[in-house]
Chains A and B, each alone.
Chain A
Amino acid sequence: MEQLKTIGRELAMGSQGGFGQSKEFLDLVKSIGEARSKAEEDRIVLSEIDILKRRLLEPDVPKRKMKEYIIRLVYIEMLGHDASFGYIHAVKMTHDDNLLLKRTGYLAVTLFLNEDHDLIILIVNTIQKDLRSDNYLVVCAALNAICRLINEETIPAVLPQVVDLLNHQKEAVRKKAIMALHRFHRKSPSSVSHLVSNFRKRLCDNDPGVMGATLCPLFDLISEDVTSYKDLVSSFVSILKQVTERRLPKSYDYHSMPAPFIQIKLLKIMALLGSGDKSASEMMYMVLGDLFRKCDSSTNIGNAILYECIRCISCILPNPKLLEAAAEAISKFLKSDSHNLKYMGIDGLGRLIKISPDIAEQHQLAVIDCLEDPDDTLKRKTFELLYKMTKSSNVEVIVDRMIDYMISINDNHYKTEIASRCVELAEQFAPSNQWFIQIMNKVFEHAGDLVNIKVAHNLMRLIAEGFGEDDDDADSKLRLSAVESYLKIISEPKLPSLFLQVISWVLGEYGTADGKYSASYISGKLCDVADAYSSDETVKGYAVSALMKIYAFEIASGRKVDVLPECQSLIEELLASHSTDLQQRAYELQALIALDARAVESIIPLDASCEDIEVDKDLSFLNGYIQQAIESGAQPYISERERSGMFETTDYHSNDHHEVTSHALRFEAYELPKPSGPPEASTELVPVTEPSYYTESHQPISTSLASERESSEIKLRLDGVKQKWGRPSYQPTTSASSTPQQAANGTTTHSDGGGVGSSSSKPRSSYESKKPEVDPEKQRLAASLFGGSSSSRTDRKSSSGGHKPAKGTANKPATIPKDPVQPPPPDLLDFGEPTATTVAATDPFKELEGLLDSSSQDGGATDVMGLYSDAAPVITTTTSVDSLLSELSDSSKGNSRTYQSQTSKGPNSKEALEKDALVRQMGVNPTSQNPTLFKDLLG
Chain B
Amino acid sequence: MIKAVMMMNTQGKPRLAKFYDFLPVEKQQELIRGVFSVLCSRPENVSNFLEIDSLFGPDSRLVYKHYATLYFVLVFDGSENELAMLDLIQVLVETLDKCFSNVCELDIVFNYSKMHTVLDEIVFGGQVLETSSAEVIRAVEEISKLEAASNAISLVPNSVSGWRGR
* Chain A residues close to B by CB (< 8 Å): 3, 6-7, 10, 17, 19-21, 25-26, 29, 32-33, 59-66, 71, 74-75, 77-82, 88, 92, 98-101, 103-104, 107, 111, 114-115, 135, 137, 144, 147-148, 172, 175-176, 179-180, 182-183, 209, 213, 216, 219-220, 223, 251-252, 254-255, 260-261, 264, 268, 300-301, 303-304, 307-308, 338-340, 342-344, 373-378, 380-381, 411-414, 417
Whether the Cβ atoms of A99 and B79 lie closer than 8 Å is no
A-B contact pairs, 7 of them (CB 8 A): A74-B112, A78-B17, A88-B166, A115-B22, A137-B143, A213-B127, A342-B47
Within 8 Å of chain A (Cβ to Cβ): is B103?
Answer: no
Residues of B contacting A32 in the complex (Cβ-Cβ under 8 angstroms): 13
Q: What separation, in Å, do the CA atoms of A111 and B84 have in the docked complex?
A: 26
* Chain B residues close to A by CB (< 8 Å): 13-14, 16-18, 20, 22, 25-26, 28-29, 42-43, 45-51, 53-54, 79, 81-84, 86-87, 90-91, 109-113, 116-117, 120, 124-132, 134-135, 139, 142-143, 146-147, 150-151, 153-161, 163-164, 166
Whether the Cβ atoms of B22 and A101 lie closer than 8 Å is no
- What's the nearest-Cβ distance from chain B to residue A19, in Å? 4
Minimum-distance CB pairs A-B, first 5:
A62-B157, A304-B83, A413-B54, A339-B47, A147-B125
- What's the nearest-Cβ distance from chain A to residue B46, in Å? 4
Residue of B whose beta carbon sits closest to that of A65: B157
Whether the Cβ atoms of A98 and B155 lie closer than 8 Å is no
Beyond A65-B157, A172-B139, A268-B79, whether A213 also contacts B49 by CB under 8 A is: no
Whether the Cβ atoms of B113 and A377 lie closer than 8 Å is no
Beyond A144-B124, A304-B84, A339-B46, whether A63 also contacts B112 by CB under 8 A is: no
- What's the nearest-Cβ distance from chain A to residue B100, in Å? 9
- What's the nearest-Cβ distance from chain A to residue B95, in Å? 12
Residues of A contacting B154 in the complex (Cβ-Cβ under 8 angstroms): 63-64, 98, 100-101
Residues of A contacting B142 in the complex (Cβ-Cβ under 8 angstroms): 137
Q: What separation, in Å, do the CA atoms of A852 and B85 have in the docked complex?
A: 37
Residues of B contacting A414 in the complex (Cβ-Cβ under 8 angstroms): 54
Whether the Cβ atoms of A300 and B86 lie closer than 8 Å is yes
Beyond A78-B17, A107-B116, A339-B45, whether A98 also contacts B25 by CB under 8 A is: no
Residues of B contacting A59 in the complex (Cβ-Cβ under 8 angstroms): 161, 164
Residue of A whose beta carbon sits closest to that of B43: A374
Q: What separation, in Å, do the CA atoms of A344 and B51 have in the docked complex?
A: 13
A-B CB contacts (within 8 Å), total count: 195
Whether the Cβ atoms of A254 and B83 lie closer than 8 Å is no
Residues of B contacting A251 in the complex (Cβ-Cβ under 8 angstroms): 132, 134-135
Whether the Cβ atoms of B132 and A78 lie closer than 8 Å is no
Q: What separation, in Å, do the CA atoms of A626 and B29 have in the docked complex?
A: 68
Whether the Cβ atoms of A98 and B150 lie closer than 8 Å is yes
Q: What separation, in Å, do the CA atoms of A6 and B53 have in the docked complex?
A: 49
Residues of A contacting B86 in the complex (Cβ-Cβ under 8 angstroms): 300, 304, 340
Whether the Cβ atoms of B164 and A344 lie closer than 8 Å is no
Whether the Cβ atoms of A216 and B127 lie closer than 8 Å is yes
Residue of A whose beta carbon sits closest to that of B157: A62
Give the residue of A148, A223, A307 whose beta carbon is less than 8 angstroms from that of B125: A148
Residues of B contacting A255 in the complex (Cβ-Cβ under 8 angstroms): 87
- What's the nearest-Cβ distance from chain A to residue B80, in Å? 8
Beyond A71-B112, A344-B82, whether A375 also contacts B47 by CB under 8 A is: yes
- What's the nearest-Cβ distance from chain B to residue A866, in Å? 23
Residues of B contacting A17 in the complex (Cβ-Cβ under 8 angstroms): 110
- What's the nearest-Cβ distance from chain A to residue B85, in Å? 9
Give the residue of A3, A65, A179, A378 whose beta carbon is less than 8 angstroms from that of B46: A378
Whether the Cβ atoms of A99 and B124 lie closer than 8 Å is no
Give the residue of A220, A252, A268, A377 whose beta carbon is less than 8 angstroms from that of B47: A377
Whether the Cβ atoms of A344 and B83 lie closer than 8 Å is yes
Whether the Cβ atoms of B146 and A137 lie closer than 8 Å is yes
- What's the nearest-Cβ distance from chain B to residue A430, in Å? 27
Q: What separation, in Å, do the CA atoms of A893 and B49 have in the docked complex?
A: 39
Whether the Cβ atoms of A100 and B47 lie closer than 8 Å is no
Residue of B whose beta carbon sits closest to that of A267: B81
- What's the nearest-Cβ distance from chain B to residue A905, in Å? 40
Residue of B whose beta carbon sits closest to that of A62: B157
Residues of A contacting B82 in the complex (Cβ-Cβ under 8 angstroms): 304, 340, 343-344
Residues of A contacting B158 in the complex (Cβ-Cβ under 8 angstroms): 62-63
Residues of A contacting B90 in the complex (Cβ-Cβ under 8 angstroms): 300
Q: What separation, in Å, do the CA atoms of A413 and B58 have in the docked complex?
A: 11
Q: What separation, in Å, do the CA atoms of A374 and B42 have in the docked complex?
A: 9
Residues of B contacting A301 in the complex (Cβ-Cβ under 8 angstroms): 83-84, 87
Beyond A6-B157, A115-B22, whether A374 also contacts B146 by CB under 8 A is: no
Q: What separation, in Å, do the CA atoms of A75 and B132 have in the docked complex?
A: 28
Q: What separation, in Å, do the CA atoms of A344 and B87 have in the docked complex?
A: 15
Whether the Cβ atoms of B22 and A304 lie closer than 8 Å is no
Whether the Cβ atoms of B143 and A264 lie closer than 8 Å is no
Whether the Cβ atoms of A377 and B157 lie closer than 8 Å is no
Whether the Cβ atoms of B81 and A300 lie closer than 8 Å is no
- What's the nearest-Cβ distance from chain B to residue A259, in Å? 8
Whether the Cβ atoms of B87 and A300 lie closer than 8 Å is yes
**Given contact pairs A179-B124, A340-B48, A376-B42, a sample of 19 additional A-B residue pairs in the complex whose CB atoms are under 8 Å apart:** A10-B155, A20-B111, A60-B164, A61-B163, A63-B158, A78-B14, A78-B17, A80-B28, A98-B150, A107-B116, A144-B120, A147-B20, A183-B126, A223-B79, A260-B131, A307-B83, A339-B48, A375-B46, A417-B53
Residue of B whose beta carbon sits closest to that of A374: B43
Residues of B contacting A6 in the complex (Cβ-Cβ under 8 angstroms): 157
Beyond A98-B154, A378-B47, whether A252 also contacts B132 by CB under 8 A is: yes
Whether the Cβ atoms of A182 and B125 lie closer than 8 Å is yes
Residues of B contacting A33 in the complex (Cβ-Cβ under 8 angstroms): 13, 109
Residues of A contacting B164 in the complex (Cβ-Cβ under 8 angstroms): 59-60
Whether the Cβ atoms of A307 and B87 lie closer than 8 Å is no
Residues of A contacting B155 in the complex (Cβ-Cβ under 8 angstroms): 7, 10, 64
Whether the Cβ atoms of B157 and A182 lie closer than 8 Å is no
Residues of B contacting A63 in the complex (Cβ-Cβ under 8 angstroms): 154, 157-158, 160
Whether the Cβ atoms of B112 and A254 lie closer than 8 Å is no
Whether the Cβ atoms of B146 and A99 lie closer than 8 Å is yes
Residues of A contacting B129 in the complex (Cβ-Cβ under 8 angstroms): 175-176, 179, 213
Residues of A contacting B14 in the complex (Cβ-Cβ under 8 angstroms): 78-79
Residues of B contacting A80 in the complex (Cβ-Cβ under 8 angstroms): 25-26, 28-29
Q: What separation, in Å, do the CA atoms of A380 and B130 have in the docked complex?
A: 32
Beyond A7-B156, A26-B110, whether A261 also contacts B84 by CB under 8 A is: yes
Q: What separation, in Å, do the CA atoms of A223 and B125 have in the docked complex?
A: 19
Residues of B contacting A411 in the complex (Cβ-Cβ under 8 angstroms): 54
Residues of B contacting A114 in the complex (Cβ-Cβ under 8 angstroms): 22
Residues of B contacting A66 in the complex (Cβ-Cβ under 8 angstroms): 163
Residues of A contacting B117 in the complex (Cβ-Cβ under 8 angstroms): 103
Whether the Cβ atoms of B51 and A380 lie closer than 8 Å is yes
Whether the Cβ atoms of A377 and B151 lie closer than 8 Å is no
Interface centre among B26, B50, B131, B166 (most CB of A within 10 A): B131
Whether the Cβ atoms of B49 and A107 lie closer than 8 Å is no
Beyond A59-B164, A219-B79, A339-B46, whether A77 also contacts B25 by CB under 8 A is: yes
- What's the nearest-Cβ distance from chain B to residue A214, in Å? 11
Residues of A contacting B25 in the complex (Cβ-Cβ under 8 angstroms): 77, 80-82
Residue of B whose beta carbon sits closest to that of A116: B22
Whether the Cβ atoms of A182 and B127 lie closer than 8 Å is yes
Whether the Cβ atoms of B128 and A261 lie closer than 8 Å is yes
Whether the Cβ atoms of A104 and B113 lie closer than 8 Å is yes
Residues of A contacting B28 in the complex (Cβ-Cβ under 8 angstroms): 80
Residue of A whose beta carbon sits closest to that of B162: A92
Whether the Cβ atoms of A99 and B150 lie closer than 8 Å is yes
Whether the Cβ atoms of B157 and A254 lie closer than 8 Å is no
Whether the Cβ atoms of A19 and B146 lie closer than 8 Å is no
Interface centre among B29, B47, B154 (most CB of A within 10 A): B47
Beyond A103-B143, A377-B50, whether A254 also contacts B116 by CB under 8 A is: no
Residues of B contacting A381 in the complex (Cβ-Cβ under 8 angstroms): 51
Whether the Cβ atoms of B157 and A179 lie closer than 8 Å is no
- What's the nearest-Cβ distance from chain B to residue A420, in Å? 13
Residue of B whose beta carbon sits closest to that of A255: B87
Q: What separation, in Å, do the CA atoms of A176 and B25 have in the docked complex?
A: 27
Whether the Cβ atoms of A107 and B83 lie closer than 8 Å is no
